[in-house]
Amino acid sequence: MGFFKKSKLKSLVPSSSSEKKKTILIVDDEALNLQALSRLLAAHYHVLTATNGRDALELVKDYPSPEHIELIISDQRMPELTGVEFLEKTLPLIPNTIRMILTGFTDVDSIIDAINKGQVYKFILKPFEPNDLLLSVQRALETYDLEKQNKKLVQDLKTLNADLEKKIEQRTEQLASSNKQLSAINQELTNEIEMRKIAEEALQASYQTIKRQQSQIHEQLSQARETQESLLPKTLPKIPGAYMANRYIPVEQIGGDFFNVFSIDDHQFGFIVADVTGHGVPAALVAFLVSGMFFNSLKKGPSPLEAIRSTNGALKGRLPEGKFASMFYAVYDSNLKTLTYTSAGHPPLLVFRKKTAEIFRLKTPGLVIGILPNGMAHFEEASFQCQPGDTILFYTDGITELQNPQGQILSQEGLCQYLRDHQALPLRELLESLCEFGNQHTNYVGFEDDITLIGLEILP
Protein backbone atom coordinates (compact mmCIF):
# COMPACT_ATOMS: atom_id res chain seq x y z
CA MET A 1 0.00 0.00 0.00
CA GLY A 2 1.31 3.49 -0.87
CA PHE A 3 2.40 5.76 1.93
CA PHE A 4 0.79 8.81 0.31
CA LYS A 5 -2.66 9.38 -1.21
CA LYS A 6 -3.12 11.69 -4.18
CA SER A 7 -5.85 13.57 -2.33
CA LYS A 8 -3.33 14.56 0.32
CA LEU A 9 -0.58 15.73 -2.02
CA LYS A 10 -1.82 19.36 -2.10
CA SER A 11 -1.34 19.57 1.66
CA LEU A 12 2.29 18.55 1.16
CA VAL A 13 3.09 21.67 -0.89
CA PRO A 14 4.75 24.37 1.27
CA SER A 15 2.31 26.99 2.56
CA SER A 16 2.97 30.68 2.02
CA SER A 17 4.58 30.92 5.47
CA SER A 18 7.11 28.25 4.50
CA GLU A 19 7.23 29.30 0.86
CA LYS A 20 10.94 30.06 0.89
CA LYS A 21 11.90 26.77 2.53
CA LYS A 22 13.63 24.17 0.38
CA THR A 23 11.79 20.85 -0.05
CA ILE A 24 13.59 17.63 0.88
CA LEU A 25 12.30 14.11 0.21
CA ILE A 26 13.53 11.49 2.73
CA VAL A 27 13.18 7.79 1.84
CA ASP A 28 13.98 5.13 4.46
CA ASP A 29 12.24 1.86 5.32
CA GLU A 30 13.30 2.13 8.98
CA ALA A 31 10.74 4.21 10.88
CA LEU A 32 13.20 5.39 13.54
CA ASN A 33 15.67 6.64 10.92
CA LEU A 34 12.87 8.35 9.03
CA GLN A 35 11.61 10.09 12.18
CA ALA A 36 15.10 11.13 13.25
CA LEU A 37 15.91 12.64 9.87
CA SER A 38 12.54 14.40 9.68
CA ARG A 39 12.97 15.97 13.12
CA LEU A 40 16.52 17.04 12.30
CA LEU A 41 15.59 18.75 9.02
CA ALA A 42 12.01 19.95 9.63
CA ALA A 43 13.11 23.09 11.48
CA HIS A 44 14.94 24.37 8.42
CA TYR A 45 13.28 22.70 5.43
CA HIS A 46 9.97 21.46 4.11
CA VAL A 47 10.19 17.67 4.54
CA LEU A 48 8.45 14.90 2.57
CA THR A 49 8.84 11.27 3.66
CA ALA A 50 8.33 7.82 2.20
CA THR A 51 9.07 4.38 3.58
CA ASN A 52 10.16 2.71 0.34
CA GLY A 53 11.34 3.49 -3.19
CA ARG A 54 8.07 2.71 -4.99
CA ASP A 55 5.99 4.96 -2.71
CA ALA A 56 8.58 7.71 -3.08
CA LEU A 57 8.52 7.37 -6.87
CA GLU A 58 4.71 7.67 -6.90
CA LEU A 59 4.97 10.72 -4.64
CA VAL A 60 7.36 12.40 -7.10
CA LYS A 61 5.10 11.58 -10.08
CA ASP A 62 1.95 12.92 -8.35
CA TYR A 63 3.50 15.87 -6.56
CA PRO A 64 1.98 19.12 -7.92
CA SER A 65 5.38 20.69 -8.59
CA PRO A 66 8.01 17.91 -8.55
CA GLU A 67 10.67 20.33 -9.80
CA HIS A 68 10.41 22.06 -6.40
CA ILE A 69 11.81 18.95 -4.69
CA GLU A 70 15.35 20.28 -4.41
CA LEU A 71 16.99 17.36 -2.54
CA ILE A 72 16.42 13.61 -2.09
CA ILE A 73 18.04 11.70 0.78
CA SER A 74 17.54 7.95 0.29
CA ASP A 75 18.58 4.90 2.24
CA GLN A 76 20.43 2.36 0.04
CA ARG A 77 19.07 -0.94 1.34
CA MET A 78 15.27 -1.01 1.00
CA PRO A 79 12.72 -3.61 -0.15
CA GLU A 80 11.53 -3.68 -3.78
CA LEU A 81 13.79 -0.84 -4.94
CA THR A 82 17.28 -0.07 -3.62
CA GLY A 83 18.24 3.54 -3.11
CA VAL A 84 20.32 3.53 -6.32
CA GLU A 85 17.44 2.01 -8.35
CA PHE A 86 14.98 4.55 -6.97
CA LEU A 87 17.27 7.52 -7.65
CA GLU A 88 17.95 6.26 -11.18
CA LYS A 89 14.18 6.18 -11.89
CA THR A 90 13.79 9.79 -10.68
CA LEU A 91 16.34 11.17 -13.15
CA PRO A 92 13.88 11.63 -16.07
CA LEU A 93 11.26 13.15 -13.71
CA ILE A 94 13.37 15.66 -11.75
CA PRO A 95 16.81 15.82 -13.42
CA ASN A 96 17.95 18.94 -11.54
CA THR A 97 17.31 17.55 -8.03
CA ILE A 98 20.38 16.88 -5.85
CA ARG A 99 20.64 13.25 -4.70
CA MET A 100 22.29 11.79 -1.58
CA ILE A 101 22.59 8.17 -0.38
CA LEU A 102 22.56 6.91 3.22
CA THR A 103 24.50 3.67 3.53
CA GLY A 104 25.70 1.34 6.28
CA PHE A 105 29.12 -0.31 6.54
CA THR A 106 27.97 -3.29 4.45
CA ASP A 107 26.66 -1.03 1.68
CA VAL A 108 30.09 0.24 0.62
CA ASP A 109 30.11 -1.89 -2.56
CA SER A 110 27.13 0.08 -3.88
CA ILE A 111 29.03 3.39 -3.84
CA ILE A 112 30.31 3.04 -7.40
CA ASP A 113 26.81 2.01 -8.58
CA ALA A 114 25.32 5.07 -6.89
CA ILE A 115 27.74 7.45 -8.59
CA ASN A 116 27.35 5.91 -12.07
CA LYS A 117 23.59 5.17 -12.18
CA GLY A 118 21.91 7.48 -9.67
CA GLN A 119 24.07 10.59 -10.24
CA VAL A 120 24.56 10.78 -6.49
CA TYR A 121 26.06 14.04 -5.19
CA LYS A 122 27.29 12.51 -1.92
CA PHE A 123 27.01 9.33 0.15
CA ILE A 124 26.75 9.42 3.95
CA LEU A 125 27.78 6.54 6.19
CA LYS A 126 25.43 5.43 8.96
CA PRO A 127 25.40 6.16 11.83
CA PHE A 128 25.80 9.84 10.95
CA GLU A 129 26.56 12.92 13.01
CA PRO A 130 23.58 15.35 12.91
CA ASN A 131 25.79 18.42 12.46
CA ASP A 132 27.72 16.75 9.65
CA LEU A 133 24.47 15.79 7.94
CA LEU A 134 23.06 19.32 8.26
CA LEU A 135 26.27 20.72 6.78
CA SER A 136 26.14 18.22 3.89
CA VAL A 137 22.50 19.12 3.22
CA GLN A 138 23.32 22.84 3.31
CA ARG A 139 26.16 22.43 0.82
CA ALA A 140 24.04 20.23 -1.45
CA LEU A 141 21.28 22.86 -1.55
CA GLU A 142 23.84 25.60 -2.16
CA THR A 143 25.01 23.57 -5.17
CA TYR A 144 21.38 23.29 -6.32
CA ASP A 145 20.94 27.08 -6.03
CA LEU A 146 24.15 27.76 -7.96
CA GLU A 147 23.10 25.46 -10.80
CA LYS A 148 19.66 27.08 -10.88
CA GLN A 149 21.22 30.57 -10.95
CA ASN A 150 23.55 29.52 -13.76
CA LYS A 151 20.62 28.34 -15.86
CA LYS A 152 18.80 31.61 -15.23
CA LEU A 153 21.88 33.59 -16.23
CA VAL A 154 22.14 31.61 -19.46
CA GLN A 155 18.48 32.31 -20.23
CA ASP A 156 18.92 36.00 -19.38
CA LEU A 157 21.92 36.12 -21.71
CA LYS A 158 19.87 34.61 -24.53
CA THR A 159 17.16 37.23 -23.95
CA LEU A 160 19.73 40.03 -23.96
CA ASN A 161 21.25 38.68 -27.17
CA ALA A 162 17.80 38.57 -28.79
CA ASP A 163 17.14 42.15 -27.70
CA LEU A 164 20.53 43.22 -28.99
CA GLU A 165 19.90 41.61 -32.37
CA LYS A 166 16.53 43.36 -32.59
CA LYS A 167 18.11 46.74 -31.81
CA ILE A 168 20.79 46.19 -34.42
CA GLU A 169 18.11 45.37 -36.99
CA GLN A 170 16.18 48.52 -36.11
CA ARG A 171 19.35 50.60 -36.33
CA THR A 172 20.16 49.18 -39.75
CA GLU A 173 16.68 50.09 -41.03
CA GLN A 174 17.07 53.62 -39.70
CA LEU A 175 20.39 54.05 -41.49
CA ALA A 176 18.93 52.82 -44.78
CA SER A 177 15.87 55.13 -44.64
CA SER A 178 17.38 58.34 -43.33
CA ASN A 179 19.99 60.11 -45.46
CA LYS A 180 19.50 63.24 -43.36
CA GLN A 181 21.23 61.54 -40.44
CA LEU A 182 24.31 60.65 -42.49
CA SER A 183 26.46 63.31 -40.88
CA ALA A 184 25.58 62.19 -37.36
CA ILE A 185 26.06 58.58 -38.35
CA ASN A 186 29.50 59.33 -39.78
CA GLN A 187 30.43 60.95 -36.51
CA GLU A 188 29.20 57.92 -34.64
CA LEU A 189 31.26 55.69 -36.91
CA THR A 190 34.32 57.85 -36.29
CA ASN A 191 33.80 57.53 -32.56
CA GLU A 192 33.28 53.80 -32.90
CA ILE A 193 36.50 53.43 -34.90
CA GLU A 194 38.36 55.30 -32.20
CA MET A 195 36.86 53.08 -29.52
CA ARG A 196 37.75 50.00 -31.57
CA LYS A 197 41.32 51.24 -31.83
CA ILE A 198 41.44 51.64 -28.07
CA ALA A 199 39.89 48.20 -27.68
CA GLU A 200 42.44 46.65 -30.08
CA GLU A 201 45.28 48.21 -28.11
CA ALA A 202 43.82 46.82 -24.89
CA LEU A 203 43.31 43.45 -26.58
CA GLN A 204 46.91 43.41 -27.76
CA ALA A 205 48.09 44.20 -24.22
CA SER A 206 45.89 41.39 -22.88
CA TYR A 207 47.26 39.02 -25.51
CA GLN A 208 50.82 39.75 -24.46
CA THR A 209 49.87 39.17 -20.80
CA ILE A 210 48.20 35.85 -21.67
CA LYS A 211 51.21 34.85 -23.75
CA ARG A 212 53.53 35.48 -20.80
CA GLN A 213 51.22 33.54 -18.48
CA GLN A 214 51.08 30.63 -20.94
CA SER A 215 54.85 30.59 -21.05
CA GLN A 216 54.99 30.48 -17.25
CA ILE A 217 52.37 27.70 -17.15
CA HIS A 218 54.30 25.73 -19.77
CA GLU A 219 57.48 26.07 -17.72
CA GLN A 220 55.66 25.00 -14.54
CA LEU A 221 54.14 22.01 -16.36
CA SER A 222 57.58 21.03 -17.60
CA GLN A 223 58.90 21.18 -14.04
CA ALA A 224 55.89 19.14 -12.85
CA ARG A 225 56.56 16.57 -15.55
CA GLU A 226 60.19 16.30 -14.46
CA THR A 227 58.98 15.78 -10.89
CA GLN A 228 56.51 13.10 -12.00
CA GLU A 229 59.14 11.36 -14.07
CA SER A 230 61.18 11.06 -10.89
CA LEU A 231 58.41 8.74 -9.63
CA LEU A 232 58.94 6.43 -12.60
CA PRO A 233 61.92 4.06 -12.89
CA LYS A 234 64.71 5.39 -15.10
CA THR A 235 65.86 1.81 -15.75
CA LEU A 236 64.19 -1.49 -14.98
CA PRO A 237 66.05 -3.91 -12.69
CA LYS A 238 67.41 -7.10 -14.21
CA ILE A 239 65.43 -10.06 -12.87
CA PRO A 240 67.14 -13.46 -13.01
CA GLY A 241 65.35 -15.79 -15.42
CA ALA A 242 62.97 -13.11 -16.71
CA TYR A 243 62.69 -10.32 -19.29
CA MET A 244 60.81 -7.08 -18.73
CA ALA A 245 59.46 -4.15 -20.84
CA ASN A 246 57.09 -1.25 -20.28
CA ARG A 247 55.10 1.56 -22.00
CA TYR A 248 53.71 4.70 -20.33
CA ILE A 249 51.51 7.20 -22.24
CA PRO A 250 50.03 10.14 -20.25
CA VAL A 251 46.95 11.66 -21.90
CA GLU A 252 48.19 15.16 -20.99
CA GLN A 253 51.65 16.57 -20.37
CA ILE A 254 51.49 15.03 -16.91
CA GLY A 255 49.23 12.18 -15.83
CA GLY A 256 47.62 10.38 -12.91
CA ASP A 257 49.15 6.91 -13.44
CA PHE A 258 52.38 5.88 -11.80
CA PHE A 259 54.35 2.64 -11.65
CA ASN A 260 57.68 1.32 -10.42
CA VAL A 261 59.72 -1.86 -10.41
CA PHE A 262 62.40 -2.20 -7.75
CA SER A 263 64.69 -4.75 -6.10
CA ILE A 264 63.87 -5.88 -2.57
CA ASP A 265 66.82 -8.28 -2.39
CA ASP A 266 68.75 -10.47 -4.85
CA HIS A 267 65.70 -12.63 -5.69
CA GLN A 268 62.62 -10.57 -4.73
CA PHE A 269 61.31 -7.70 -6.87
CA GLY A 270 58.42 -5.31 -6.23
CA PHE A 271 55.92 -4.22 -8.93
CA ILE A 272 53.59 -1.30 -8.15
CA VAL A 273 50.95 0.09 -10.56
CA ALA A 274 48.47 2.80 -9.48
CA ASP A 275 45.79 4.87 -11.22
CA VAL A 276 44.48 8.12 -9.71
CA THR A 277 41.03 9.36 -10.75
CA GLY A 278 41.16 11.98 -13.50
CA HIS A 279 44.28 13.17 -15.30
CA GLY A 280 46.37 16.29 -15.76
CA VAL A 281 47.76 18.46 -12.95
CA PRO A 282 45.17 17.55 -10.23
CA ALA A 283 45.66 13.82 -10.77
CA ALA A 284 49.46 14.20 -10.90
CA LEU A 285 49.50 16.00 -7.52
CA VAL A 286 47.50 13.14 -5.97
CA ALA A 287 49.85 10.64 -7.65
CA PHE A 288 52.83 12.34 -5.95
CA LEU A 289 51.13 11.94 -2.59
CA VAL A 290 50.09 8.30 -3.18
CA SER A 291 53.57 7.35 -4.37
CA GLY A 292 55.23 8.92 -1.34
CA MET A 293 52.87 7.17 1.08
CA PHE A 294 53.36 3.83 -0.67
CA PHE A 295 57.14 3.86 -0.59
CA ASN A 296 57.06 5.03 3.02
CA SER A 297 54.91 1.97 3.82
CA LEU A 298 57.63 -0.37 2.52
CA LYS A 299 59.71 0.43 5.61
CA LYS A 300 57.43 -1.99 7.47
CA GLY A 301 58.37 -4.87 5.14
CA PRO A 302 57.75 -6.09 1.58
CA SER A 303 54.38 -7.80 2.26
CA PRO A 304 51.89 -6.56 -0.40
CA LEU A 305 49.00 -6.77 2.05
CA GLU A 306 50.70 -4.67 4.73
CA ALA A 307 51.97 -2.16 2.14
CA ILE A 308 48.45 -1.61 0.75
CA ARG A 309 46.94 -1.37 4.24
CA SER A 310 49.55 1.10 5.41
CA THR A 311 49.16 3.25 2.28
CA ASN A 312 45.36 3.29 2.64
CA GLY A 313 45.57 4.26 6.31
CA ALA A 314 48.04 7.06 5.59
CA LEU A 315 45.89 8.47 2.75
CA LYS A 316 42.49 8.43 4.51
CA GLY A 317 41.43 12.03 5.05
CA ARG A 318 44.32 13.49 3.03
CA LEU A 319 42.95 13.16 -0.50
CA PRO A 320 40.77 15.91 -2.04
CA GLU A 321 37.05 15.20 -2.12
CA GLY A 322 36.16 12.85 -4.97
CA LYS A 323 39.77 11.71 -5.44
CA PHE A 324 40.96 8.14 -4.88
CA ALA A 325 43.36 5.65 -6.46
CA SER A 326 43.34 2.02 -7.52
CA MET A 327 46.54 0.09 -6.83
CA PHE A 328 48.11 -3.32 -7.54
CA TYR A 329 51.26 -4.33 -5.68
CA ALA A 330 53.04 -7.65 -6.32
CA VAL A 331 56.32 -9.23 -5.22
CA TYR A 332 57.97 -11.67 -7.65
CA ASP A 333 60.38 -14.28 -6.23
CA SER A 334 62.80 -15.33 -9.00
CA ASN A 335 64.00 -18.38 -7.03
CA LEU A 336 60.50 -19.82 -6.46
CA LYS A 337 58.92 -18.21 -9.56
CA THR A 338 56.00 -17.09 -7.36
CA LEU A 339 53.99 -13.89 -7.49
CA THR A 340 52.51 -12.63 -4.19
CA TYR A 341 50.05 -9.78 -4.65
CA THR A 342 47.32 -7.53 -3.21
CA SER A 343 44.83 -5.50 -5.25
CA ALA A 344 42.96 -2.34 -4.20
CA GLY A 345 40.15 -1.83 -6.69
CA HIS A 346 42.59 -2.25 -9.62
CA PRO A 347 41.98 -4.21 -12.86
CA PRO A 348 43.18 -7.82 -12.56
CA LEU A 349 46.73 -8.80 -13.44
CA LEU A 350 46.81 -10.96 -16.60
CA VAL A 351 49.05 -14.05 -16.89
CA PHE A 352 49.18 -15.61 -20.37
CA ARG A 353 50.41 -19.23 -20.38
CA LYS A 354 51.70 -20.01 -23.86
CA LYS A 355 51.78 -23.77 -23.25
CA THR A 356 48.01 -24.01 -22.87
CA ALA A 357 46.88 -20.61 -24.25
CA GLU A 358 45.24 -20.02 -20.83
CA ILE A 359 44.88 -16.55 -19.34
CA PHE A 360 44.75 -16.21 -15.55
CA ARG A 361 43.22 -13.06 -14.03
CA LEU A 362 44.82 -12.32 -10.67
CA LYS A 363 42.89 -10.09 -8.30
CA THR A 364 42.04 -9.92 -4.58
CA PRO A 365 38.99 -8.29 -2.94
CA GLY A 366 39.40 -4.66 -1.94
CA LEU A 367 38.00 -1.20 -2.60
CA VAL A 368 40.14 1.63 -4.00
CA ILE A 369 42.45 3.27 -1.47
CA GLY A 370 41.81 6.60 0.22
CA ILE A 371 38.03 6.25 0.75
CA LEU A 372 37.60 4.10 3.86
CA PRO A 373 39.74 3.80 7.00
CA ASN A 374 41.51 0.51 7.60
CA GLY A 375 38.88 -0.48 10.17
CA MET A 376 36.30 -0.60 7.35
CA ALA A 377 38.45 -1.34 4.30
CA HIS A 378 39.18 -5.00 3.54
CA PHE A 379 42.20 -6.21 1.58
CA GLU A 380 43.62 -9.69 1.01
CA GLU A 381 46.87 -11.25 -0.18
CA ALA A 382 47.26 -14.16 -2.61
CA SER A 383 50.03 -16.04 -4.43
CA PHE A 384 50.39 -17.47 -7.92
CA GLN A 385 52.86 -20.08 -9.17
CA CYS A 386 54.39 -18.92 -12.45
CA GLN A 387 55.79 -21.26 -15.08
CA PRO A 388 58.51 -20.82 -17.72
CA GLY A 389 57.01 -19.18 -20.79
CA ASP A 390 54.39 -17.22 -18.84
CA THR A 391 53.83 -13.58 -19.85
CA ILE A 392 52.58 -11.32 -17.01
CA LEU A 393 50.88 -8.01 -17.84
CA PHE A 394 50.38 -5.15 -15.34
CA TYR A 395 48.19 -2.34 -16.71
CA THR A 396 45.76 0.49 -15.90
CA ASP A 397 42.20 0.75 -17.24
CA GLY A 398 43.22 3.40 -19.78
CA ILE A 399 43.85 0.55 -22.27
CA THR A 400 40.71 -1.55 -21.58
CA GLU A 401 38.34 1.45 -21.63
CA LEU A 402 39.40 2.74 -25.06
CA GLN A 403 36.29 3.42 -27.18
CA ASN A 404 35.88 3.12 -30.93
CA PRO A 405 33.73 5.65 -32.87
CA GLN A 406 30.67 3.42 -32.27
CA GLY A 407 31.13 3.67 -28.49
CA GLN A 408 32.36 0.08 -27.99
CA ILE A 409 35.13 -0.31 -25.41
CA LEU A 410 38.14 -2.57 -25.90
CA SER A 411 37.40 -4.34 -22.52
CA GLN A 412 39.40 -6.98 -20.66
CA GLU A 413 38.10 -9.67 -23.02
CA GLY A 414 39.40 -7.69 -25.99
CA LEU A 415 42.79 -7.30 -24.28
CA CYS A 416 42.96 -11.04 -23.54
CA GLN A 417 42.09 -11.91 -27.12
CA TYR A 418 44.81 -9.56 -28.35
CA LEU A 419 47.37 -11.38 -26.16
CA ARG A 420 46.29 -14.74 -27.62
CA ASP A 421 46.40 -13.49 -31.21
CA HIS A 422 49.86 -11.92 -30.85
CA GLN A 423 51.58 -14.38 -28.50
CA ALA A 424 54.40 -14.96 -30.97
CA LEU A 425 55.64 -11.35 -30.69
CA PRO A 426 58.62 -10.55 -28.42
CA LEU A 427 57.52 -8.80 -25.25
CA ARG A 428 58.67 -5.27 -26.18
CA GLU A 429 57.10 -5.52 -29.65
CA LEU A 430 53.92 -6.90 -28.07
CA LEU A 431 53.51 -3.77 -25.89
CA GLU A 432 54.30 -1.44 -28.81
CA SER A 433 51.79 -3.19 -31.08
CA LEU A 434 49.17 -3.12 -28.31
CA CYS A 435 49.49 0.69 -28.10
CA GLU A 436 49.18 0.96 -31.89
CA PHE A 437 46.14 -1.33 -31.76
CA GLY A 438 44.64 1.06 -29.20
CA ASN A 439 45.16 3.96 -31.65
CA GLN A 440 43.48 1.97 -34.41
CA HIS A 441 40.57 1.08 -32.11
CA THR A 442 39.91 4.78 -31.40
CA ASN A 443 40.40 5.73 -35.06
CA TYR A 444 43.44 7.78 -34.01
CA VAL A 445 41.39 10.41 -32.14
CA GLY A 446 43.73 10.19 -29.14
CA PHE A 447 43.51 8.50 -25.74
CA GLU A 448 41.12 9.80 -23.07
CA ASP A 449 43.02 8.34 -20.09
CA ASP A 450 46.63 7.61 -19.14
CA ILE A 451 47.93 4.20 -20.24
CA THR A 452 50.49 2.16 -18.29
CA LEU A 453 51.76 -1.27 -19.41
CA ILE A 454 54.42 -3.44 -17.71
CA GLY A 455 55.24 -6.84 -19.13
CA LEU A 456 57.23 -9.60 -17.42
CA GLU A 457 58.18 -12.76 -19.35
CA ILE A 458 59.36 -15.82 -17.42
CA LEU A 459 62.16 -17.30 -19.51
CA PRO A 460 62.38 -21.09 -20.07
pLDDT at residue number 166? 85
pLDDT at residue number 17? 45
φ, ψ at 115 (rounded to 5°): -70, -45
For the chain of 460 residues, list the mean pLDDT of each consecutive stretch of 10: 43 49 94 93 94 94 90 92 92 93 68 65 86 92 90 87 83 75 80 84 76 59 55 83 93 77 95 87 83 87 90 87 91 97 96 95 94 90 97 94 92 94 95 94 85 95
pLDDT at residue number 211? 66
pLDDT at residue number 205? 77
pLDDT at residue number 106? 54
CA distance linking residue 66 with residue 93, whole number of Å: 8
In 3D space, the residue among 38, 31, 111 whose CA is nearest the CA of residue 76 turns out to be 111
pLDDT at residue number 230? 59
Q: Torsion angle of alpha carbons 60, 65, 69, 75, nearest 10°?
A: -10
pLDDT at residue number 4? 43
Q: What is the greatest pairwise CA distance in the chain?
A: 100
The answer to whether the peptide bond before residue 282 is cis (omega within 30 degrees of 0) is: no
- The full 3-state SS of the chain, as one line of letters, equals CCCCCHHHHHHHCCCHHHCCCCEEEEECCCHHHHHHHHHHHHCCCEEEEECCHHHHHHHHHHCCCHHHEEEEEEECCCCCCCHHHHHHHHCCCCCCCEEEEEECHHHHHHHHHHHHHCCCCEEEECCCCHHHHHHHHHHHHHHHHHHHHHHHHHHHHHHHHHHHHHHHHHHHHHHHHCHHHHHHHHHHHHHHHHHHHHHHHHHHHHHHHHHHHHHHHHHHHHHHHHHHHCCCCCCCCCCCCEEEEEEEECCCCCCCEEEEEEECCCCEEEEEEEEECCCCHHHHHHHHHHHHHHHHHHHHCCCHHHHHHHHHHHHCCCCCCCCCEEEEEEEEECCCCEEEEEEECCCCEEEEECCCCEEEEECCCCCCECCCCCCCCCCCCEEEECCCCEEEEEECHHHHCCECCCCCECHHHHHHHHHHHCCCCCHHHHHHHHHHHHHHHCCCCCCCCCEEEEEEEECC
pLDDT at residue number 9? 47
pLDDT at residue number 228? 54
pLDDT at residue number 183? 75
pLDDT at residue number 13? 47
In 3D space, the residue among 105, 95, 107, 34 whose CA is nearest the CA of residue 69 turns out to be 95
pLDDT at residue number 11? 46
pLDDT at residue number 215? 57
pTM for the full model? Answer: 0.54
